[in-house]
Structure 1
Amino acid sequence: MGLCATAKVITGSDRYTWPKLLQPGDREWVTAIEAVNSTGWALPSYIIFKAKKYMWLGWFEDLPANWIINISDNGWTTDKIGLEWLKLHFIPLTNDRSIGKYQMLILDGHRSHLTAEFDCICTKNNISPPLDVGYFAILKRYYGQLVEQRMRLGFNHIDKFDFLTAFPKARTMAYKAQNIWNSFAATGLVPFNPDRVYQQLTVQLKTPTPPPSRSSDTQPSCLQTPQNARQFKRQMTTIGKQISQHTENSSEVFYKAITQASKAYETTMNDLLLSRKENHDLRTAHEKEKQKRQKSKKQVSNEQGISTEEAQVLIQDQIEASQAVTTVPAEPELPVSHPPVRCQFRCSGCGIKERG
């Protein structure tokens, strides 16, 4: 999950060594079973994470509804998962798109595609599975670039939430219809053209280009591009002297000094734009980190892969259960108590009642 891709970078012209970027320390494996069709569409992703028994419901919160997540002990696919992908994912999603009676499923040589049960299911569903070596170089490159961007922002760890944020973006960028058509054409499959493969077998040796030699020539300080405020101020002082002592012979030097000052200004403005972009990216990444910490930590026991739709139902059930108000039975009302009335006494002489 934490593997950067080979990338082109902008660096100083005075650098004679290859700049280096550290890879993230997290090298946990994750498997994405992907399938594309020669007409230009792709099946929803089937993701396999490394876990023992439980899946987090927070993994599904930002995924497309028809994606499926499963788990295995090492993050790799297994014979059981391969069969599940074929029966519950590939066949239901491709039956309505088939043209004619048969489908041709081109696979790589993973052992989960070589079992007798896998072949039997293909036969029953009119699927012909000729084995071939396929690769999704564009998808890998875009994902690697997103990992690299995160590394440049100072994050040196890629977890499952980070993967589920970057991988859908890379998939959207890579899975254009034109890219899919070009992939089938480049391998000579659709349209069928074996020569596209034979041509790639011709090996041509290339002589490496020697690195540029260091120049021993040094330019006057007034003709060098200023790299900081002090050098820029010194450059302006030099230009001022050139103006005050202007002669016909100093015109060329004066022009070069102005040119270098202009380059320094352009460099400063570019650095400012890059700093603003980096600041914006850092703020965005920080906000995403806050959202990631708020994702559901609830777990669900795994028996087979779970789609995003099924996970959303489980999440909604948990929310409703946590919001349910338990009603407490009301206590029975006590009878209204009246103040005690004192007894009345009758006078023994006159017989008139009076309060005691």
Structure 2
Amino acid sequence: MRAMKRIMGKGAYKSGRVRQAAHDGNREFITLLACISAIGKKIPASLLYTGESYDLQNTWVQDLEDDDDFFFGASSNGWTCDAYGLKWLTDVFEPATRPTSPRTKRLLIVDGHSSHVNMAFINKCWELRIILLIFPPHSTHRLQPLDVVLFGLLSLAYHKELNAFNVRGLGMVPMKKKNFLKLFRPAWRISFTEENILKAFAKPGIWPYDPALVLNVITRPITPPPAIQPAPSSIDRLKTPRSAKSIRHFQADYRKNPTRAKLEKLFKANEELAAQAALDRWTTVGLIEALKDEKKSRARGKRLNVLGEEHTGPILFSAENVRRAQERFAEKEAFEKSERIRIDTKKAETAAKKQKAEVENAEKALQAAAREDNIEQVRVEEKAEKQAQKKKEAAQIKALKALPVRIKAPTKARKAPVVKKKVVRFVGGDIEGQGVETPAKQSSRGRAIKPRVIFESGSNQ
């Protein structure tokens, strides 16, 4: 998987500034395990991503569609291995090519990769009645149908999609694993057609069987003598103006000496600049779309946990398993989102209550401060009133003291009335009484104080 970083034009190539396509340094691999048959059929493709946990990230398969039948896996370096070769044989190839009769045999032609040439793989093929045929070393570029036809077509189709992706982003949007499936799907469908698969078996002469097709290709042909190049004409010696300054100079020169060759160059410059303007407009639209896609896919990937449990070994996940895992992941994401909304709502309510309490406390503080100010003002006013009352009383006392003193004549003392005291005695049943007159007492104001009447009783036997 390689992301183009710069679009190389004809002018840049001729000037020597750029001789090859540059890339962003991303060397992360994604391995494709493909298999085709001589009747024009293909089995589902298997894609191995680079991942240490042997599990998939949700962003890697976010563009999976309902009609996709891919298998997915992950390895530490993105390459296949013996374990994945055996998994592919048992989980992908055998179910897809299983014959109706258990005694029917199948022929599987593979290259000499170690994932195909090991005892576990060979024994499993023998157990499943699969005849294993291995291409001779260093011959797959001539004999293997996938290398001869299909992988080339797939590479062209994929690079076309990749170039369109980079052109839309002007090379500023990096190519990542989460974008791969979206670009790989149309390339796979365009290249791995029934017609191309039949051509792939026919070109190396495997089916229909024709060994001469390969022998004729590797035969060295007679090299013809080099053709004599014609001398450049006057039109070829003129340079096509492309910048604004060169066009102005070229037009001035044409007005002085108009020729057919110069007019043709002006026409050519006009066509190139018009094409460049259209390309710039299309590039702007594509860049805007690429930026929108990049903004949507900035979310960090999470483990998809396809099996729903931990696993530590290589395994291939079918598209159906991935869809179920995506459904579980979507439900989990929805639940976590609702929980986040609930927590955020609760936090907002708590913050609102806190803010309301702070406002109420502030109002109470203002009211208390206002009351204290009023009390202080009342106290000041009462103190002022008391001081004014004291001053008024002092002024009245002073005014009274300033008035002349009137001496009153002494009042005549009242004559104290004489009160007779009556003593009652009981002697032998006879009552004797005799009043005793005592002088009346007077108060400090000259009023008479009435004495109490004292009764004395006694018996004598």
TM-score using structure 1 length: 0.73
User: In structure 2, which of residues 269, 277, 282 is the aligned counterpart of residue 272 of structure 1?
Assistant: 277
**How much identity, in percent, do the aligned residues show?**
24
Are 1:291 and 2:292 matched, yes or no?
Answer: no
User: In structure 2, which of residues 88, 111, 116 is the aligned counterpart of residue 113 of structure 1?
Assistant: 116
Partner of 1:345: none
User: Which structure 2 residues correspond to residues 249-260 of structure 1 after superposition, within 5 A?
Assistant: 253-260=258-265
Distance (whole Å) between structure 1 residues aligned to residue 231 and residue 49 of structure 2: 50
Are 1:312 and 2:323 matched, yes or no?
Answer: yes
| Bigger CA radius of gyration | 2
Deviates more, 1:184-193 or 1:153-162: 153-162
Partner of 1:130: 133
Contact 1:60 1:308 in 2 (8 A): no
What is the CA RMSD across the aligned residues, in angstroms? 3.8
Alignment-mate amino acid for residue 285 of structure 1: A
Contact 2:162 2:183 in 1 (8 A): yes
Are 1:2 and 2:2 matched, yes or no?
Answer: yes
Residues 177-233 of structure 1: CA deviation (Å, up to 9, x unaligned): 2221111111111101111222233234758979x8997x98899x75332334434
Distance (whole Å) between structure 2 residues aligned to residue 80 and residue 311 of structure 1: 20
Contact 2:3 2:174 in 1 (8 A): no
Distance (whole Å) between structure 2 residues aligned to residue 240 and residue 115 of structure 1: 78
Contact 2:241 2:250 in 1 (8 A): yes
Distance (whole Å) between structure 2 residues aligned to residue 205 and residue 24 of structure 1: 43
Unaligned runs of 5+ in 2: 343-461
Distance (whole Å) between structure 2 residues aligned to residue 318 and residue 113 of structure 1: 35
Distance (whole Å) between structure 2 residues aligned to residue 209 and residue 284 of structure 1: 49
Contact 2:91 2:316 in 1 (8 A): no
Compared with structure 1, are the counterparts of its residues 96 and 292 closer, same or farther at alpha carbon in structure 2 (3 Å cutoff)? farther
Distance (whole Å) between structure 2 residues aligned to residue 3 and residue 14 of structure 1: 19
User: In structure 1, which of residues 70, 75, 79 is the aligned counterpart of residue 78 of structure 2?
Assistant: 75
Contact 2:240 2:265 in 1 (8 A): yes
Compared with structure 1, are the counterparts of its residues 281 and 209 closer, same or farther at alpha carbon in structure 2 (3 Å cutoff)? farther
Compared with structure 1, are the counterparts of its residues 287 and 115 closer, same or farther at alpha carbon in structure 2 (3 Å cutoff)? same
Distance (whole Å) between structure 2 residues aligned to residue 315 and residue 141 of structure 1: 31
Alignment-mate amino acid for residue 138 of structure 1: L
Query: How far 1:31 sits from its partner (Å)?
Result: 1.2
Aligned partner of residue 59 in structure 1, secondary structure: coil
Alignment-mate amino acid for residue 96 of structure 2: L
Query: How far 1:26 sits from its partner (Å)?
Result: 0.9
Distance (whole Å) between structure 1 residues aligned to residue 41 and residue 112 of structure 2: 23
Compared with structure 1, are the counterparts of its residues 150 and 14 closer, same or farther at alpha carbon in structure 2 (3 Å cutoff)? closer
Aligned partner of residue 32 in structure 1, secondary structure: strand
Distance (whole Å) between structure 2 residues aligned to residue 189 and residue 289 of structure 1: 45
Query: How far 1:235 sits from its partner (Å)?
Result: 4.3
Residues 112-145 of structure 1: CA deviation (Å, up to 9, x unaligned): 2122232232223332121123322222333344
Partner of 1:93: 96
User: Which structure 2 residues correspond to residues 10-49 of structure 1 after superposition, within 5 A?
Assistant: 11-12=10-11, 15=14, 17=16, 19-49=19-49
Query: How far 1:87 sits from its partner (Å)?
Result: 0.8
Query: How far 1:238 sits from its partner (Å)?
Result: 5.0
Partner of 1:348: none
Alignment-mate amino acid for residue 171 of structure 2: G
Residues 250-291 of structure 1: CA deviation (Å, up to 9, x unaligned): xxx344443333222212111112212322332232233233
Distance (whole Å) between structure 2 residues aligned to residue 143 and residue 322 of structure 1: 32
Partner of 2:212: 195
Compared with structure 1, are the counterparts of its residues 3 and 129 closer, same or farther at alpha carbon in structure 2 (3 Å cutoff)? farther
Are 1:60 and 2:71 matched, yes or no?
Answer: no
Aligned partner of residue 276 in structure 1, secondary structure: helix
Aligned residues: 312
Partner of 1:171: 188
Alignment-mate amino acid for residue 94 of structure 1: T
Are 1:159 and 2:181 matched, yes or no?
Answer: no
Alignment-mate amino acid for residue 60 of structure 1: V
Contact 1:2 1:157 in 2 (8 A): no
User: In structure 2, which of residues 240, 251, 259 is the aligned counterpart of residue 225 of structure 1?
Assistant: 240
Contact 2:31 2:48 in 1 (8 A): yes
Compared with structure 1, are the counterparts of its residues 10 and 207 closer, same or farther at alpha carbon in structure 2 (3 Å cutoff)? farther
Distance (whole Å) between structure 2 residues aligned to residue 209 and residue 286 of structure 1: 50
Q: Which has the higher contact order (CA 8 A, sep 6+)?
A: 1
Query: How far 1:46 sits from its partner (Å)?
Result: 0.6
Aligned partner of residue 60 in structure 1, secondary structure: coil
Distance (whole Å) between structure 2 residues aligned to residue 69 and residue 258 of structure 1: 59
Compared with structure 1, are the counterparts of its residues 209 and 156 closer, same or farther at alpha carbon in structure 2 (3 Å cutoff)? farther
